[in-house]
Amino acid sequence: MLVWTRTGKAVVWIAFALVFGLLVLLPFLVVIAAAFAGSWNGVLPSDPTGDHLRQALSGDELASLSVSLQTAFMGGLLAVVIGTWGAMAAYGSRFARVADAMHHLPIAVPSVVVGLGLLVAFSRQPVLLNGTKWIVVIAHLVLMVAFSYGTVAAALQRVDPSYADVAASLGASPARVLWRVRLPMLLPAISSAAGLSVALSMGEVGATIMVYPASWRTLPVSIFALTDRGQTFVAAAEAVVLLATTVVLVVILDRLRGRAVER
């Protein structure tokens, strides 16, 4: 307890509600409200409508959702595998520092630069990927590997290595120790890395906007195109679609994690 008097607490809480509500929470609520508003010319939105949402779930916009989902699953989940592998292999090895630095590179560098690099590198021989969906998937993969690696590496610090030692002393082979002891103990971290990767991939805009071909437009790119054309309400509706999809995916992954922990 820091503030002991009732009036003191009340003042602090009111300040908290104002700052948190207006500064942090309001922007997200405004987007959701705008998605269902026909117009917004005053303090409150007016003419409630579902048209924007309908529009956001049809034609090109719907295709974008499908593109985003595919990208998130291909790029994000592969990133979890690579990131987990990297973190576990690097833990305690002589390459730990190098691996640590290399895996953190994609988040230390702006995502536009990651995109530019891919654009420069894969618009030429030996590998031509520019103009295909694979360059988008690779961009997402690279960014999400960094986050997955970080999440799993942090969890490794907390796991007591003596469990693996005990398992080995009981005669388990290294493969068995990995499969039955080390991986299960990291499962919560791995599934939260998966949730994080999918969520961040769904919202990724910097690298994507550098590399995407016209045939592979992700949701955020579509949302940007809509705002650029001045269709902000439809953009808000599509942002809500993005939010809802992300939340559903993360909740599902979280459920899996809950089940894994129970077991």
Partner 1 sequence: MTVQLEDVTVHFGNKHSGRTCALEGFDLSVAAGETVALLGPSGSGKSTALKAVAGFVRPTRGRIRLGGNDVTDLPPARRGIGVVVQQYALFPHLRVADNVAFGLRAARKPKAEVSRRVGEMLEMVGMTAYGRRFPRELSGGQQQRVAIARALAIQPSVLLLDEPLAALDAQLRADMLGELQKLRREVPDIAIVYVTHDQSEALALADRIAVMRDARLVDIAPAAELYAAPPSAFTASFLGGANLLPVSVDEGAVKVAGAVVPGLKPEDGKSLLCIRPHAIRLEPPEPANAVEDVARLVGRVVAAQWRGASSQVTCLVDGLADVVVRVDVPADRRVPELGAAVVMVLPVEACSLVPAEVG
Partner 2 sequence: MAVEALGATVVVSSQRRRDGKWLWVLPPLLVIAVLVVYPLVLVAIESIPAWGDVVGSAEFRDALVRTVQIAVSSTVGCLIVGTFLAVVISFVPFPGARVVAGLVDTMLALPSFLVALSFTFIYGTTGILRAGGFLTSPWAVVLAEVTFYTPFVMRPLLAAMSRLPQAQLDVAASLGAGPWRVLRQVVLPEVRPALVAGGSLTLLLTLNEFGIVLFLGAKGTTTLPMLVHTKGIVMFDYPGACVIAVVQIALSLGLYAVLRMALGGRRARLD
Q: For residues 4-63, which are near partner 1 according to CB under 8 A? A: 4-5
Q: How far is the CB of 15 from partner 1 (least distance, A)?
A: 19
Could you tell me which residues are beta bridge partners of residue 37? Answer: 48
Spatial CA neighbour of 204 closest among 106, 53, 72: 72
DSSP calls for 162-192 = HHHHHHHHTT--HHHHIIIIIHHHHHHHHHH
d(CA 193, CA 83) in angstroms, rounded, equals: 9
- Residue of 57, 62, 116, 187 interacting with partner 2 (CB under 8 A): 116
d(CA 15, CA 235) in angstroms, rounded, equals: 32
- Per CB under 8 A, the segment of 47-55, 57-65, 139-147, 180-188 that binds partner 2 is 139-147
Query: Could you say which DSSP state residue 46 is in?
Result: E
Residues 143-202 that bind partner 2 (CB under 8 A): 145-147, 149-151, 153-154, 157, 161, 195-196, 199-200, 202
User: Can you count the helices (H) and strands (E) in the chain?
Assistant: 14, 2
Query: Could you say which DSSP state residue 12 is in?
Result: H
* Nearer residue to partner 1 within complex by CB, 5 or 162: 5
What tokens were used for 163? 């469990």
Tell me the C-alpha to C-alpha distance, in Å, between residue 255 and each of 39, 159, 170, 189, 249.
38, 22, 32, 13, 10
- With CB under 8 A as the rule, give the number of residues binding partner 2: 101
Contact 174, 79 (CB under 8 A): no
* Position 215 contacts partner 2 (CB under 8 A): no
Q: Which does 77 bind (CB under 5 to 8 A by kind): partner 2, partner 1, none?
A: none
* Position 252 contacts partner 2 (CB under 8 A): no
Q: How far is the CB of 141 from partner 1 (least distance, A)?
A: 43
- Residue of 53, 56, 65, 90 interacting with partner 2 (CB under 8 A): 90
- Per CB under 8 A, the segment of 1-9, 21-29, 52-60, 157-165 that binds partner 1 is 1-9
Q: Which does 181 bind (CB under 5 to 8 A by kind): partner 1, partner 2, none?
A: none
Q: How far is the CB of 106 from partner 2 (least distance, A)?
A: 6
Q: How far is the CB of 262 from partner 2 (least distance, A)?
A: 21
